[in-house]
Structure 1
Amino acid sequence: MRSINKVILIGNVGKDPDIQVFEGGRKKASFSLATTERYRDRTGADQAVTEWHNCVVWGPQAEVVEKYVRKGTPLYIEGRIKYRDYTDKDGVKKRITEIFLENFSMLSTRSGSDSGTEISSHDSGSVSSQDSDPMDPPLNKIEDDLPF
């Protein structure tokens, strides 16, 4: 049986990304992403719970993160969960959960007018606008063809 390990998040970067350069010049970018769930409790008071996600991206995508992503940048990300075990300086074993990015889009802010930028591992880190693919049929055309 096949399995799926897929994560989709929309949130804001918590601090400027940490960039590491490895042998051969390959880069790794690490940053935290905050997602906030808002709800109204039994008393009618608005509540918010924020979760922090550790995100990791390699290669050409890391270079894009280094150049454009800063604390507060709104992002849409797609990736997979990975767990990493390590021993801290006191000898205590720890486990960290990380989201390894496969695709991400820098979202515009409400005051911004751009449509965001999408970066995908499938296209080797090239940047493309979020416009639809010319090979995809228009959504309204599909709906017109439905028999009900």
Structure 2
Amino acid sequence: MSGTVNKVMLIGHLGDEVKMHYFEGGGCIGRFPIATNETYTNKQTGEKVTNTDWHNVVVRNKAAEICEKYLSKGDKVYVEGRLKNRQWQGEDGNTRYTTEVHVQDFTFLTNKNEAGANMQSGQTNQQAAPTQPPTTQASVTPVSNSEPDDDLPF
């Protein structure tokens, strides 16, 4: 097979609010962590064990604005994208590395009633209904690569 695949699909919960960064040219980036859990029963002790993995997620432009507006800490979300490695210089002068999921597609999975209940629990005036996203799915146009897409046999 001559092609390669770099695809990530995650379903998890937001660990924090979406942090936005705006650029001079009008573009923006949103970043947030997603937690995924693995639960199993320890055969020796019989107790349930849960391991949590954290994933750094990056969304761009309109998708980032949608995420910032409608997602909040604890919401369940499906993201699909590519793994990207990044390095930078820390304040201490050391080189730091991170792996990020650059989102190409996402779907909000938190029930509208759950989101509405969370928003209204702190309100005394419940006449105004919470705003909901116009759609629960948005796509980001992938960045074009210099290599043409191969036809895969499956």
Q: After superposition, what is the alpha-carbon deviation per residue over 1:5-28, rounded to whole angstroms, capped at 9, x for unaligned?
A: 000000000000101111122111
Q: Which runs of 5+ in 1 are unaligned?
A: 124-148
Give the root-mean-square deviation of aligned CA atoms.
2.1
Which amino acid is the alignment partner of residue 60 of structure 2?
Answer: W
Quote the residue 1:13 is aligned against: 14
Per the alignment, do residues 94 and 46 of structure 1 end up closer, same or farther by CA in structure 2, a change over 3 Å counting?
same
Q: After superposition, what is the alpha-carbon deviation per residue over 1:30-65, rounded to whole angstroms, capped at 9, x for unaligned?
A: 000000001101221001000000000001101101
Quote the residue 1:75 is aligned against: 77
Kindly report which structure 2 residues correspond to 1:19-30, keeping only aligned pairs within 5 A, or say none: 19-30=20-31
CA distance in 2 between partners of 1:122 and 1:100 (Å): 12
Query: Greater strand share, 1 or 2?
Result: 1
CA distance in 1 between partners of 2:3 and 2:49 (Å): 38
CA distance in 2 between partners of 1:101 and 1:92 (Å): 28
Kindly report which structure 2 residues correspond to 1:1-148, keeping only aligned pairs within 5 A, or say none: 1-42=2-43, 43-109=45-111, 112=114, 117-122=136-141
Conserved 8 A contact 2:60-2:140: no
What's the secondary structure of 2:65's corresponding residue? Answer: helix
Between the aligned residues of both structures, percent identity stands at 37
Which amino acid is the alignment partner of residue 12 of structure 1?
Answer: H
Per the alignment, do residues 110 and 67 of structure 1 end up closer, same or farther by CA in structure 2, a change over 3 Å counting?
closer
Which amino acid is the alignment partner of residue 30 of structure 1?
Answer: R
| CA apart distance, 1:111 | 5.7
CA distance in 2 between partners of 1:110 and 1:92 (Å): 44
CA distance in 1 between partners of 2:113 and 2:14 (Å): 18
| CA apart distance, 1:84 | 0.3
Which amino acid is the alignment partner of residue 17 of structure 1?
Answer: V
CA distance in 2 between partners of 1:19 and 1:122 (Å): 19
Q: Which runs of 5+ in 2 are unaligned?
A: 116-131, 143-154
